[in-house]
Structure 1
Amino acid sequence: MRLLLLSDTHVPVRAKRLPAELLGEAERADVVMHAGDWVDTATLDLLEARARRLIGVFGNNDGPELRERLPEVARAELGGLRFGVVHETGPARGREDRCAQRFPDLDVLVFGHSHIPWDTSAPGGPRLLNPGSPTDRRRQPYCTYMTLVVADGVPGEVTLHRLPRR
């Protein structure tokens, strides 16, 4: 099973549209996970139309229309693993312990907010994955997203994809 992980798209505030490469990945993925800060409902509609399955949450920059359609936290069992998606996990310092306490029942937690890619494991808790942002790199050298392959209840290779600078 191939998962596409993304967050913080901020369309149309930070970019007019999602990158074509990302849309191609959405069509190839078995599941697309978006960890919030969509900003507009058109991006949600687009990904719902392109993805086989979409799991998303709202972020701090998402207004009432998105909050009506999306939860703050989403959970799903995929390929024998328990996944969670949330927008914000707080400061980097102490993140692993905080997430292990808040989400002790998860194998993988996908989050966003910082626009900074992150891949660690919480002791006794979930693997923590932040794909960065495909449209707003902020202080990062590249805009990014992640793919994850899951097989037989095991998270396989996590790949951080860099998008070309615009």
Structure 2
Amino acid sequence: MSSPGTHVLLISDTHLPKRAKDLPAPLWEAVDAADLVVHAGDWVEPLALDALEARATRLLACWGNNDGAALRARLPEVARETVEGVRVAVVHETGGKERRGERMRAAHPDVDLLVFGHSHIPWDSTHEGLRLLNPGSPTDRRAQPDFTWMTLRLADGDVHDVVLHRLPPA
């Protein structure tokens, strides 16, 4: 019998309060519904981390290139956890998109799922068994048409039901 699994929310590049004063209401609803929230860096201010730590059931997170000493003191550069038999790593930057899968497989040989951010561009690919996911940004869409985040389910050693959620600009 298969496990119902762990419901996971992926976010990155929130840039609070620089790009927005708060996370969008639908994203807070997703935080409340998730068993695990994964944040791939670029918080900008500790207040965003404080808010997610207070509200999320569980949080797995790293710091990004826009995060100063206060955030770097509280978060690792690469966060790791095994969830439902899936070896998960979270890192902010992975470099350019060319040969990303190959580079990240070499850099993280013991990982099944790598969540990353930095580009603000949603990404979903697999390379030699490594699933790479970038949820984009819920607050700073840059050239993207919508603000984005992802949800998924981890169960029985695998990644299931990956959904890219889009929130059009107001």
How far apart, CA to CA, are the structure 2 residues paired with 1:127 and 1:153?
12
How far apart, CA to CA, are the structure 2 residues paired with 1:138 and 1:164?
12
Give the aligned partner of residue 164 of structure 1.
Answer: 168
The 8 Å contact of residues 146 and 159 in structure 1, kept in 2 or not, is answered as yes
Give the aligned partner of residue 151 of structure 2.
Answer: 147
> Which portions of structure 1, spanning 4 or more consecutive aligned residues, are displaced by more than 3 angstroms?
none
The 5 A counterparts of 1:105-116 are 105-116=110-121
The 8 Å contact of residues 145 and 168 in structure 2, kept in 1 or not, is answered as no
Structure 1 unmatched runs, 5+: none
The 5 A counterparts of 1:13-162 are 13-122=18-127, 124-162=128-166
Summarize deviations over 1:49-82 as a string: whole Å, max 9, x none: 1101001100000011000000000000001100
What SS is found at the alignment partner of 2:71? helix
What SS is found at the alignment partner of 1:66? helix
What SS is found at the alignment partner of 2:38? strand
Identity rate of aligned residues, in percent? 59
AA in 2 matched with 1:160: L
Give the aligned partner of residue 3 of structure 2.
Answer: none
How many residue pairs align between the two structures? 165
How far apart, CA to CA, are the structure 1 residues paired with 2:48 and 2:55?
11
AA in 2 matched with 1:152: D
What SS is found at the alignment partner of 1:17? coil
What SS is found at the alignment partner of 1:91? coil
AA in 2 matched with 1:70: L
TM-score (norm 1): 0.97
Summarize deviations over 1:95-134 as a string: whole Å, max 9, x none: 0100010011111000000000000011x24100000000
TM-score (norm 2): 0.95
The 8 Å contact of residues 87 and 112 in structure 1, kept in 2 or not, is answered as yes
How far apart, CA to CA, are the structure 2 residues paired with 1:72 and 1:120?
22
- Answering whether residue 13 of structure 2 is matched by residue 8 of structure 1, we say yes
The 8 Å contact of residues 38 and 59 in structure 1, kept in 2 or not, is answered as yes
How much has 1:90 moved relative to structure 2?
A: 0.2
How much has 1:164 moved relative to structure 2?
A: 3.0
AA in 2 matched with 1:162: R
The 8 Å contact of residues 99 and 125 in structure 1, kept in 2 or not, is answered as no
